Amino acid sequence: MQPKNTAARKKSFFSFLLLFALSTFIIVLLAFSSTRVPVKDNDILKEQVAALDREREFAKNFMSQMTAIGALLDTINTTAVSSADLIDDEISAGITKMNVIVDADSVQNKDLYSSIVLNISELQRAKKQLRKATEADTDINEVKRENELLSNQLEQCKIK
């Protein structure tokens, strides 16, 4: 004994099966994509952290070089230093090295670092001018002392 609506039953069953497969596919697709989104976000965040770590390392390296050059600039015009030209050459080499690493690296604040290097270079130039002015004052003082000594000797010769 066969049911009279066999075709309708088959059609309804296949419609149900298609709808079930479609809804299962959508649920699986949503579950898969929702697990993939955090993975992509995680990768993006890892890249950002790596970039910040590189920038922090660059800033640390730059700061150590800047501190070393600052220490040299502080000692260059003291009276205890006799080889100012040698220290001046070291400062120039450090400034050149800092310029190279600023130009080579892809940091965000390249203008800031370039301006710091420029300020250090201008400070070096000012220190040179100060050293020359101090040497000129020393020479003038020596000439004045020598002039006074010779004037005193001339006065003594006139008296005799």
Place of tokens 């600039």: 73
pTM score above 0.75: no
Is 88 buried (19+), middle (13-18) or exposed (0-12) by CB count in 10 A? middle
**Helix (H), strand (E) at residue 108:** none
Both tokens of residue 139? Answer: 């020479």
Give the span between the Cα atoms of 149 and 160, in whole angstroms.
17
The per-residue pLDDT for range 82-126, each reduced to its tens digit, is 678 888 889 999 999 999 888 887 777 888 889 999 999 999 999
Confidence at residue 79, expressed as pLDDT on a 0 to 100 scale: 57
In the chain, where does DSSP find H-type helix?
Answer: 6-76, 84-104, 110-159
Both tokens of residue 130? Answer: 């100060």
Q: Look at residue 1 and tell me whether its pLDDT is greater than 80.
A: no
Confidence at residue 76, expressed as pLDDT on a 0 to 100 scale: 80
Both tokens of residue 146? Answer: 């020598």
The per-residue pLDDT for range 28-79, each reduced to its tens digit, is 998 888 777 777 888 899 999 998 998 899 889 999 999 999 998 888 877 5
